Chains A and B, each alone.
Chain A
Amino acid sequence: MSTSMEPDTIYFDSAATTPLDAQALAAMLPFMTERFANPSSAHRMGLEARRAIEQARRAFACALDADEEGIVFTSGGSEANNLALRGLAPRLSGRRIIVSRLEHPSVHEPARVLAAQGFEVVTIHNDEQGYIDLDHLSDLLLAKKTALVAIIHGSNEIGTVQDVAAIGRLIRAVSPESWLHLDAIQSAGYLPLKPRDWQVDSLTFSAHKLHGPKGAGVLALYRRAALEPLVAGGGQERGRRSGTENTAAIAGAAAALDLNQSQRQERADHVTRLKLRLQALLAERIPDLRFNGDPASGLPHILSVSLHGILGEVLLHHLEREGLMVSAGSACHSNSTAVSPTIEALGMPGPLARGTIRLSLSHRNTAAEVERAVEIIAEQVEYLREVGKP
C-alpha cells in the first residue's frame, strides 16, 4: 500500500485539502528561515515580520471587502468559526442561535457549547437539495430575539450554494440586529464574495482549501462588535486572538489568495466542466445512483453521489487501492455506519445515505483523470454491489 501521491494517483479530495501552490511556498520560506523573528519584537527584525503580516492583512481586506481592522488571523477555518460563534454570541443581544443543518462541525460543535451555556440553538429546515427554507428562517427569527444566524455558503459535503443575498435581506427586514455569520471556507476559492452587498456581518476563510498552507484562517468582521477571545495572552490581533502569529502561513495564505484571485474564473470554469463531465459519465455508467445537492449550480468543485447497495467507506478504500482518493459521507464504526449530519439532513433513505461519496476537484485535475476515475468507480461499484448482495 502506498502512502503518498504516486504518479498515477488521482486526487479527487480537494474539498478536504489541496497541495500548496509554488507561489505560496515561495512566499512562506523566508519566514521559516532568515526572517524568523517574532512580529511582536521591537527590533527591526520583528518589524520586518510585522510588515509582512500587515501586508497580508491588506490583501485579505481587499479581497474580502473588509476593513483591515476587521481581519483576524487564526490557526484555520475551524478556529475562525469557533471564534465567530463562541466569541460573538455572548456579547450580542438575544439568546437564540440559528444554524442550518448543513453546517461544518466547526459550527455545529461551538453551537452545542453555546447551548450548554444557556443559548437556545435551533436549525433551519432545508429541502432535499440542501437549500434552506427562507420562510422557516423567517418564522424562527420572528419567534424569538436571535443573537446570531450561521450559514454555510457552499456546503463542504454536497456543494449546495445558499442564496446569501436573500438570506441577508430577510434578516435585515425581520430581525435587523441579528448577526449573520457566513462560512465561506469552501466557496472562497470559486465564487465571488460580496459580503457587504449581502449584508453579512462576519465571514470565515481557510487558506489550505485553495492551495495555501494549513494553519492559516481568517475571520473577517463587517460590523463593530465586542469579541470574547478564545485564546487570551499577549494581545495579538487586537486582543482578539493572542499567540505569536504564524507569519509564514499568513504570508503563504496571502500569496495563495492572490494567485486564486487572478485565476479564479478560469479555475472555476475548468473545474465546472470537469464536474459536469464526471456527473454525466457516472450517470451513464452506473445505475441506481443519486447526485446530491444541485450539481448544476452548486460549488464547481464538489460532486456528491449516493449509490444503492454500497457502503461509502468500503467504496472509498476500494477506490484508494486503485489510486483514486475521495471522501465518504459516512464512517464505519465497530457495528454500525454513521452518516454525516449534512447527508442526514437531505432526508434520503438510510441505505442510500450510507452509500455516499464526495468527489472534489481542483484546477490541477484533468479530463483524462475524470475518464479514468469513472472507469475505476464503475468497476468497483459493480464489484461491491455483487459482493454486497444478501
Chain B
Amino acid sequence: MSDAPVLVVRYAEVGLKGGNRALFEKALVSNLKRALKGFDHGPVERPRGRIIVRSPAEPERVAAAAAKVFGIISVSPGVTTAPDVSSITTAARALFGSDLDGLPRGMTRTFRVQSRRSDKRFPMTSMELSAHLGGILLESFKGLSVDLHAPQMTLGVEVRDTEALLFCRSLAGPGGIPVGTMGRAVVLLSGGIDSPVAAWLTMKRGARAVFIAYHSYPFLSPASLDKVEALVKRLARYQHGADLFVIPFAETQVAIKQACPEPLRTVLYRRMMFRLANMLAAREGALALVTGESLGQVASQTLENIRCIGEVAELPVLRPLICYDKTESIDLARRIGTYEISIQPYPDCCTLFQPRKPRIKASLEEVQRAEADLDVDGLVAAAFDGVERKSFFP
C-alpha cells in the first residue's frame, strides 16, 4: 500500500447525541459531501468517530471548504500509509519534512508526536510509537526540540487495523450541529449587520434557515433588495442553498402611518412582520422565528418592546444575539463574510415612515389599542399574497 493524501475530519458534539447519533453522522457526511462538490476527491468514509476524505486533489482547498461545515471541529490534511512501523516511519519523515519547509529557517522548532492506536495488535503501545517517531525526527532534522505542552508542530498518528493516518496541521471548523438536523426556522432578514449573524448562528445549531425580507418599494430603491439578496447568497454557502421570500411591505407601512399613533409605528411594523413570518413558517413547515434583536440596541429592542412585538408570534422566537454587544456581532459578521455587504449604504426603512420620537417602552395594552383601527388581517393577507420566492444556490 503506497502513501496517499487524505483529510481527517473530526466532529465532537454529534458524537454525543445518543440514539440520534447515526442520523446526525449521516447528515454531517451528506453536508460535507455537498460542501466538497466541485472538488476532486475520492470516497468519503465514516469509520468510528472520524470522517476520512480519500485522495483530495487539492488538499489545502478541500480542507478549507470542509472546515466551513457545521458540526466539524477540525480538519487535518495528511497521508495514509500501511499500518506497520517502517511505513509509518517513512511517511512521518516525509510529511514532517514538507511541513517543516513552511516554517522560517534558522529557528529552533519545538514539536511533539501524538499517537493513538485502535488496533491493539500493533506491536508498539501509543507511547512507544510516539517515542520512536520523535527519536527518528530528531535524528532526521536539525534544530528540533521536543515540547510536550506547547509545541509549534504536532505530528498526529492514528493506527487502525487497515491503515495508519498521519497529519501535521489542522484547520479549526465552526463546531455546532449539522445543518438541517434541527428542522427549519424562518429568519427575519433586514439589510443590517445583525440579522445575517443571527441566521448563521441558527444554522450552526442545526436549523435550516428560510429567509423572509420585507421591502417597501417604491418608497425604497430596488437596490436595497439587491443587498438582501447578496446576504442570502452569502449565507446560502453555509447550508447549501437558501430560499428568500420577499414580502411587499409598503402598503402595510402606509396604513400604519395613517391610522396609528406615530411613536408606536416601529413596534407596529414589526408586529406585522412577525404575523407574516408566522404565515410563511406555517407554509414552509418551520418551527421557529429568528431575529437579530439585541437587548437595548435600538428603540424597538427594549424588553417592553420585544415583548409587544413577540406577543403575535405563533412559534418560539430565537434571538441568538440578544445578549451580544454590537462589536461582537460585527466581529462575527466579518468572519462569516456578511459585514461588507451589510454596510452598503442602502436604507432599509424610508425616512418617511420613521417616527420622529419612537416609544421606547410600549405597553401591550396601548399597542393592541393602536391596532384596533387597523385592518390587520386584511393587510397581512394582501402583503402575503404578493410574496415572491427567490432561490439561491452556493
Q: How far is the CA of A332 from the CA of B347 in the complex (A)?
A: 7
- The answer to whether residues A1 and B351 also contact, given A387-B254, A387-B257 and a CB cut-off of 8 A, is no
Query: For the side of the interface on B, what is the size category?
Result: 10 to 19
B350 at the interface (CB under 8 A from A): yes
The reply to whether B352 and A311 form a contact with Cβ atoms under 8 Å apart is yes
Q: How far is the CA of A9 from the CA of B388 in the complex (A)?
A: 24
B269 at the interface (CB under 8 A from A): no
Task: Select the stretch in A50-58, A190-198, A280-288, A317-325 that faces chain B.
Answer: A317-325
B143 at the interface (CB under 8 A from A): no
List, sorted by A's number, 21 A–B pairs whose CB atoms are closer than 8 Å. A1-B222, A317-B217, A317-B218, A317-B219, A317-B221, A317-B222, A318-B218, A321-B217, A321-B218, A332-B221, A332-B347, A332-B350, A333-B345, A333-B347, A334-B346, A335-B347, A335-B351, A337-B351, A387-B258, A387-B352, A390-B262
Tell me the nearest residue of chain B to A3, going by C-beta: B222
Cβ–Cβ < 8 Å partners of B346 in chain A? 334
Contact of A314 among B222, B345, B350 (CB under 8 A): B350
A336 at the interface (CB under 8 A from B): yes
Q: How far is the CA of A388 from the CA of B352 in the complex (A)?
A: 6
Q: How far is the CA of A334 from the CA of B352 in the complex (A)?
A: 12
A313 at the interface (CB under 8 A from B): yes
List the count of A-B residue pairs having beta carbons below 8 Å apart.
40
Cβ–Cβ < 8 Å partners of A336 in chain B? 351
Nearest 9 Cβ contacts at the A-B interface: A317-B218, A318-B218, A321-B218, A334-B347, A387-B254, A314-B219, A332-B347, A333-B345, A388-B352
Report which residue of A317, A321, A333, A336 has the largest number of chain B beta carbons within 10 angstroms of its beta carbon: A317
Cβ–Cβ < 8 Å partners of A1 in chain B? 217, 222
Tell me the nearest residue of chain B to A334, going by C-beta: B347
Chain B residues 119-161 with CB under 8 Å of chain A are none
Give the Cβ gap from B248 to chain A, nearest Cβ, in Å. Answer: 11
Cβ–Cβ < 8 Å partners of A333 in chain B? 345, 347
- The answer to whether residues A314 and B352 also contact, given A320-B218, A332-B221, A387-B254 and a CB cut-off of 8 A, is yes
Give the Cβ gap from B179 to chain A, nearest Cβ, in Å. Answer: 32
Q: How far is the CA of A318 from the CA of B352 in the complex (A)?
A: 14
Contact mask for chain A residues 195-233; partner B; CB cutoff 8 A; 1 contact, 0 none = 000000000000000000000000000000000000000
Give the Cβ gap from A329 to chain B, nearest Cβ, in Å. Answer: 15
Cβ–Cβ < 8 Å partners of B219 in chain A? 314, 317
Q: How far is the CA of A62 from the CA of B217 in the complex (A)?
A: 48
Q: How far is the CA of A1 from the CA of B386 in the complex (A)?
A: 13
Give the Cβ gap from B374 to chain A, nearest Cβ, in Å. Answer: 16
Cβ–Cβ < 8 Å partners of A387 in chain B? 254, 257-258, 352
B220 at the interface (CB under 8 A from A): yes
